């Protein structure tokens, strides 16, 4: 008669597994998301900060031109998405070409769908532009095909260039998303939205302590509540016209109910639960050219399949169902001149 071997106590297995997983989680998170001593996510600054200038400006290092510049973007990335939205609104699709990248855990970063400049990965492109580069290799990238260099990798600055520098070639040159009279209001909204919302959802999802998460989540919904109240009486953040502040908010709202609400634990409320933000999201989505920039399947795939520390199983949820073509009635808030 065989003697049955003694199995380890279930409590020991659970404690050991939890300890090992926690240590591995902190290690992986430290590589993916730099943190403060209190466990708060700290987003590093972008490193390439040159600018394309209007072609009429003498001596410009990067003069505006049709066909010279290329955007490197990930369809799931909200920071890259905002550049695609401005490109579409301004009518620059035939002026600035686009290269698509996708995240690859195996490659340790973004990988091109098709090789660019002989590069398979975004890391290789950064090193082509600057051989001694050792920083983060992010998108979007505004690439100069003539000088084979990175002009800029800060989305907030790229969209300002797309709005103003290429008007000589744009289909919608009179559309100004950063008008001088509204700039102080736009900048004020951008500062709030970046900290609490655009980066705020990442501060929630990448927090490594309970206190850091609760602080970020509280700030996120405080600003969302404030925005919702503002939108009760005006169509857009700065009045009756779309601005860069709306574009910067839109790409986060578009991903919110599908990704941030669940995966990033931003689950106090969904955007569709807000009386005014929900219609505002549909209003922006339905602007000419914007739907073609929105790829919800890619968003879900890039977040759920590739952020292993947050979703180890890699299972991509089926829902939610978002009816972004539903009537929004936001045009009723237009004020007579």
Which pLDDT belongs to residue 24? Answer: 53
Q: How far apart are CA 46 and CA 303, in angstroms?
A: 21
What number is the average pLDDT over the span 317-323?
94
For the chain, the domain total comes to 2
Structure tokens at 195: 């900290």
Is residue 47 in a domain?
Answer: yes
Which domain covers residue 117, as residue numbers? 36-175
- What is the β-pairing status of strands 69-74 and 97-104? parallel
Which pLDDT belongs to residue 337? Answer: 40
Half-sphere exposure of 184 (CA within 13 A, CB side): 1
Q: How confident is the model at residue 241 (pLDDT cuts 50, 70, 90)?
A: very high
Same domain for 214 and 165? no
Is residue 15 in a domain?
Answer: no
Same domain for 78 and 96? yes
Please tell me the least confidently modeled range out of 25-29, 210-214, 226-230, 302-306.
25-29
Same domain for 71 and 216? no
Supply φ then ψ for residue 312, to 5 degrees.
Answer: -55, -30
Same domain for 185 and 171? no
- CATH number, domain of 63, equals 3.40.30.10
CA distance from start to end of the chain: 95
- Given a cut of 50, whether residue 336 has pLDDT beyond it is no
Q: How far apart are CA 175 and CA 163, in angstroms?
A: 8
Q: Which residues contact 224 (CB under 8 A, 6 or more apart)?
A: 197, 269, 274, 277
Is residue 124 in a domain?
Answer: yes
Same domain for 171 and 184? no
Is residue 275 in a domain?
Answer: yes
Quote the Cα angle for 162-166-171, to 5°: 95
- Pick from 149, 175, 201: which residue ends a domain? 175
Tens of pLDDT, residue by residue over 178-209, are 999 999 999 999 999 999 999 999 999 999 89
Q: How confident is the model at residue 19 (pLDDT cuts 50, 70, 90)?
A: low
What number is the average pLDDT over the span 132-147?
95
Please tell me the least confidently modeled range out of 17-26, 209-218, 263-272.
17-26
What number is the average pLDDT over the span 100-109?
90
Same domain for 200 and 262? yes
Structure tokens at 188: 């004020």
Is residue 128 in a domain?
Answer: yes
Same domain for 40 and 154? yes
Q: How far apart are CA 14 and CA 284, in angstroms?
A: 48
- Given a cut of 60, whether residue 308 has pLDDT beyond it is yes
Same domain for 209 and 326? yes
- Pick from 143, 175, 207: which residue ends a domain? 175
Which pLDDT belongs to residue 323? Answer: 95
Residue 77 among the catalytic residues: yes
Which pLDDT belongs to residue 23? Answer: 52
- Given a cut of 50, whether residue 242 has pLDDT beyond it is yes
Is residue 114 in a domain?
Answer: yes
Same domain for 169 and 219? no
Is residue 8 in a domain?
Answer: no
Which pLDDT belongs to residue 45? Answer: 77
- CATH number, domain of 313, equals 1.20.1050.10
Same domain for 186 and 171? no
Is residue 325 in a domain?
Answer: yes
Which pLDDT belongs to residue 106? Answer: 84
Measured in whole angstroms, how far is the alpha carbon of residue 64 from the centre of its chain? Answer: 25
- Given a cut of 70, whether residue 169 has pLDDT beyond it is yes
Same domain for 198 and 143? no
Closest by CA position to 285, among listed 238, 336, 327, 334: 327
Same domain for 46 and 93? yes
- Given a cut of 90, whether residue 31 has pLDDT beyond it is no
Residue recorded with tokens 């929630």: 204
Q: Which among 41, 62, 69, 77 is annotated as catalytic? A: 77
Residue recorded with tokens 């986060």: 252
Q: Which among 133, 178, 194, 202 is annotated as catalytic? A: 202
Tens of pLDDT, residue by residue over 43-92, are 777 889 899 999 888 889 999 999 999 999 999 999 999 999 999 999 99
- Pick from 153, 175, 197: which residue ends a domain? 175
What number is the average pLDDT over the span 152-174?
98
Q: Which residues contact 133 (CB under 8 A, 6 or more apart)?
A: 47, 126, 127
- Structural contact between residues 192 and 223, judged by C-beta atoms closer than 8 angstroms: yes
Residue 294 among the catalytic residues: no
């Amino acid at each position: 008669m065989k003697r049955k071997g003694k199995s380890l106590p279930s409590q020991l297995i659970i404690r050991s597994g939890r300890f090992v997983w926690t240590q591995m989680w902190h290690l992986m998170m430290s590589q993916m998301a730099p943190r403060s001593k209190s466990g708060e996510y700290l987003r590093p600054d972008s490193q390439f900060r040159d600018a394309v200038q209007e072609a009429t400006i003498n001596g410009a290092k990067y003069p505006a031109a049709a066909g010279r510049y290329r955007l490197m973007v990930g369809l799931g990335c909200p920071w890259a998405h905002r550049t695609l939205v401005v490109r579409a609104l301004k009518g620059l699709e035939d002026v600035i070409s686009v290269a698509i990248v996708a995240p690859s855990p195996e490659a340790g970063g973004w990988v091109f769908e098709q090789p660019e400049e002989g590069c398979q990965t975004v890391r290789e492109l950064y090193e082509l532009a600057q051989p001694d580069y050792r920083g983060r290799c992010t998108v979007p990238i505004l690439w100069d095909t003539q000088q084979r260099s990175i002009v800029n990798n800060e989305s907030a600055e790229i969209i300002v260039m797309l709005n103003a520098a290429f008007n000589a070639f744009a289909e919608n040159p009179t559309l100004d998303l950063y008008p001088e009279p509204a700039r102080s209001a736009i900048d004020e909204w951008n500062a709030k939205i970046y900290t609490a919302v655009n980066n705020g959802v990442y501060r929630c999802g990448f927090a490594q302590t309970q206190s850091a998460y609760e602080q970020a989540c509280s700030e996120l919904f405080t600003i969302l509540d404030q925005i919702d109240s503002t939108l009760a009486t005006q169509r857009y953040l700065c009045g009756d016209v779309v601005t860069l502040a709306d574009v910067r908010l839109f790409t986060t709202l578009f991903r919110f109910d599908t990704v941030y609400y669940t995966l990033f634990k931003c689950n106090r409320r969904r955007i569709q639960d807000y009386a005014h933000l929900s219609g505002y999201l549909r209003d922006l989505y339905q602007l000419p050219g914007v739907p073609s920039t929105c790829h919800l399947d890619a968003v879900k795939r890039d977040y759920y399949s590739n952020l292993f520390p947050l979703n180890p199983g890699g299972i991509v949820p089926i829902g939610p169902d978002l009816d972004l073509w539903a009537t929004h009635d936001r045009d009723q808030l237009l004020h007579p001149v």
